[in-house]
Structure 1
């Protein structure tokens, strides 16, 4: 077929390039849901080559669009029910209980309530389709939009990272990584997206910020670094893009406050910050030291228990400890806040050392499945109390019958995550040495900073957990895969728009 060139990215997918002289008219490709446009190039009649291009690429588009969501939801399909986690019940209960509890976003609770009638499969469908869209859009703005390339990268991510387990689970974690990519696209490559896409990116990022305080903190930190780095980016980061990205964090905070008010009548932030930080300080030995130094003078509820504090924050907050005896968050919140603030003032060097050590530990805590292969007593109780119609299906799932084991899976996931994180940082460092640096350097830098920010926030506030690392580590693998495809296959268009 004469006149077919290397390829032209249109609307997120690659179509054959038609040389000048082949097309005279302005032509719109109309693959379902994928608008595209060929510029007027002059020449004779069109039709045959355009029709052949559409026929040739339609199967790849449809295969990719169908296969990736199914592969992302393979764990849930195997399980026979959406995967649950220890924290799932706390989110589910927000609609029914009508009050705020520590670290449980009402925005995410409403999102889960929306899918209850479908046994939460609609939630998983949203998560899988959002993941497909963000991956496709990321490749498109980087000039790598080809269906089979998207399929190959997605397949590697599904086989070697926590991504399908995150997409198959009723938990906020899938939105943590997706929001980093959506913020990157909105802030750095907004000019390569349409107005509807910008609106969807804004909404996804704002919703993700409202689902978890750590996610909001990571996004806020990325925006702050973006504003600091913008004068040195040689125009690669625009004021308009950063402004839009920054407003997503504001919108996310407003969304959380609104849902908190709607469900509880309180215009307040989700509680629990002091309690979670207290647990981390107790685990590091700081609380015991403070009680030992001040109990003779201060009448604190915890003083009689200062020699019997649990070894870990999880045992204190969620186990059978004196925390329950003393009224949990309602009975101890003020005292925990008092100890946290005064411990920061009295032991700053110890706090800094503990924060540094915790961050280092969090960076290597990346195993998949934490909190989902144990007895989920609280979540089961929420189902029994508020969702009895789903008990039979939930109990019949393989997860609830003890068939979920991540030991073999993590022999692949953990080394992949650690190697990818290291390579992403190397790619970022290498790209900074080049002037001007390219889009891949910006993406590698964004992901590297997100991983570091996530580690700092989670380690300092609640202590290192594999769950917090796994929800972000797949981003580093994506960066490495993009770099590999660029190196061996090249991109479909220049790194910067003409």
Structure 2
């Protein structure tokens, strides 16, 4: 929230305009879930785009507070809780993630809710139901979340089956069931709104773009254009090196060849052929592994927040539906070249390195079975998130930073807990009591 306040307006991405439009117009986008748009519509109350930011920050605060308290066996003093929250918001990128009018913040909320839901020892507790409802909300808010949750829960389910942990088996099965249900729900929603019975009407565009980014498309076209004469073959030597240019630019090969929809059948054929040909399939697997590793370590906040002017979707839809806020949007630092994240990134990297070093020093005293399980879950989730993002989309910082901040936050909680208990024990020692008297 602090980052948005400093900016003078909630931060926006290019997709923000689409979310605003789909929510206010109650339309279903062909390439994304409609639910974050509905979240913006409901929470903004047609009054202000600050209200969705406040709403997602309140939900984040609720879950983070519960997560912090879960590590303390007794009542946690409010000053210690406040200290932990201040450290997390000051020295991790969560303040940036929460400041964007985007569904990214819900990925971190999803991870925290899962970490609260899985170890809950009571089978049918009220808190467990609340966490599951929050998990459900987070799953439906973005297309990638269902696959990340299903893959993560499947891996933990294997562990639960080996250890015969009935509660873990039930809870991971529940998360898988919710993810699968959402997958089919989106199919029906799209079919009912003219987008066809598919999870995403434009999924073929993103996959072809992935082939272009990784060099697979150029490789495939070089091998096949002499025989199959695809429309895009005329531009096989002009494939842009970055995904967003290939996907969106008016000068990209798909648009110069007549547009995406004009040759949809050809693109779907290429996708089918790539995955059914060992040479290209193996190359895709290799590239997926490499790009996943790249995504895993790409978790910085933006060095420069992109300017979105009058020709952009965010500007257009803010002016159309929240006209009284267009002045604040135009004058925001993001749109005037005065909002950079380089310095923040340095602080975040240094803080993370220091917290890891302190944990390694304190390792034997802090690593209980429960803590090890929590760290394992966080690391698995980060790996799954990186794999899903890099394999089916592209490598950009916000896809990993949206969840990475949970790791230094966890480090912070454990370090403060250790120091707090050490200080409390010292206060309770006989020698200290004598000094006080």
- Given the superposition, is the C-alpha separation of residues 250 and 287 from structure 1 closer, same or farther in structure 2, using an over 3 Å criterion? closer
Assess, with a 3 A threshold, how the Cα gap between structure 1 residues 271 and 312 changes in structure 2: closer, same or farther: same
| 1:355 matches 2:281 | no
> Displacement, 1:365?
0.7
Contact kept? 2:108, 2:406, Cα under 8 Å: yes
Kept in 1, the 8 Å contact 2:355–2:412? The answer is no
Between structures 1 and 2, the one with greater helix share: 2
TM-score w.r.t. length of structure 2: 0.84
Shift in Å, 1:230: 0.7
SS at match of 2:72: coil
Does residue 1:142 correspond to 2:77, yes or no?
no
| Residue deviations 1:201-259 (CA, integer Å, cap 9, x gap) | 22221121112222222211121012100134464853333344334424544664565
Q: Which moved more, 1:135-144 or 1:404-413?
A: 135-144
3-state SS of 2:382 partner: helix
Counterparts of residues 23-38 of structure 1 (less than 5 Å): none
Judging changes above 3 Å, is the alpha-carbon distance between structure 1 residues 140 and 394 closer, same or farther for their aligned structure 2 residues? same
2:98 is aligned with 1:131: no
Q: Specify which structure has the bigger relative contact order, considering alpha-carbon pairs within 8 angstroms and separated by 6 or more residues.
A: 2
**Is contact 2:9-2:329 (8 Å) kept?**
yes
Equivalent position of 2:433 in the other structure: none
Q: How does 1:253-402 map to 2 (within 5 A)?
A: 253=183, 256-257=186-187, 260=190, 268-320=198-250, 321-326=252-257, 328-346=259-277, 347-369=280-302, 372-375=305-308, 377-402=312-337
Distance, in Å, in 2 between the alignment partners of 1:327 and 1:97 is 30
Q: 1:327 to 1:416 in 2, by over 3 A?
A: farther
Cα distance change of structure 1 residues 422 and 84 upon mapping to structure 2, 3 Å threshold: farther
TM-align CA RMSD: 3.1
Structure 2: distance between partners of 1:474 and 1:209: 19
Correspondence for 1:173: 104
Number of equivalent positions: 412
- State the alpha-carbon separation in 1 of the partners of residues 376 and 357 from structure 2: 12
CA-to-aligned-CA distance 1:261-297 (integer Å, 9 cap, x gap): 6765855423333322221221221101111111111
Q: Which residue of 1 aligns with 2:84?
A: 153
* Alignment CA distance shift 1:127-1:353 (3 Å): same
1:423, distance to aligned residue in structure 2 (A)? 9.1
Do 1:182 and 1:205's aligned partners in 2 also have CA atoms closer than 8 Å? yes
TM-score by length of 1: 0.74
CA displacement 1:114-162 (0-9 Å, x = unmatched): 2342312221122111111111211233335523332222111111121
For 2:4, the equivalent position in structure 1 comes to 76
Do 1:163 and 1:474's aligned partners in 2 also have CA atoms closer than 8 Å?
A: yes
> Which of residues 203, 208, 226 is equivalent to 2:138?
208
Task: Provide the rounded CA distance (Å) in 1 between the counterparts of 2:264 and 2:229.
Answer: 15
SS at match of 2:299: coil
Question: 1: distance between equivalents of 2:322 and 2:253?
Answer: 31
Task: State the partner residue of 2:432.
Answer: none
Contact 2:212 2:218 in 1 (8 A): yes
- Paired position in structure 2 for 1:406: 341
- Match runs of 1:75-114 below 5 Å: 75-95=3-23, 96=25, 98-102=27-31, 104-114=32-42
Q: Which runs of 5+ in 1 are unaligned?
A: 1-72, 492-498
1:333 deviates by 3.9
CA distance in 2, matches of 1:210, 1:370: 30
Note the C-alpha offset of 1:301: 1.6
Distance 2:269 2:295 in 1: 26
Counterpart of 1:16 in structure 2 is none
Partner of 1:220: 150
Kept in 1, the 8 Å contact 2:154–2:172? The answer is: no
SS at match of 1:191: coil
User: What runs of 5+ residues in structure 2 fail to find an aligned partner?
Assistant: 423-437
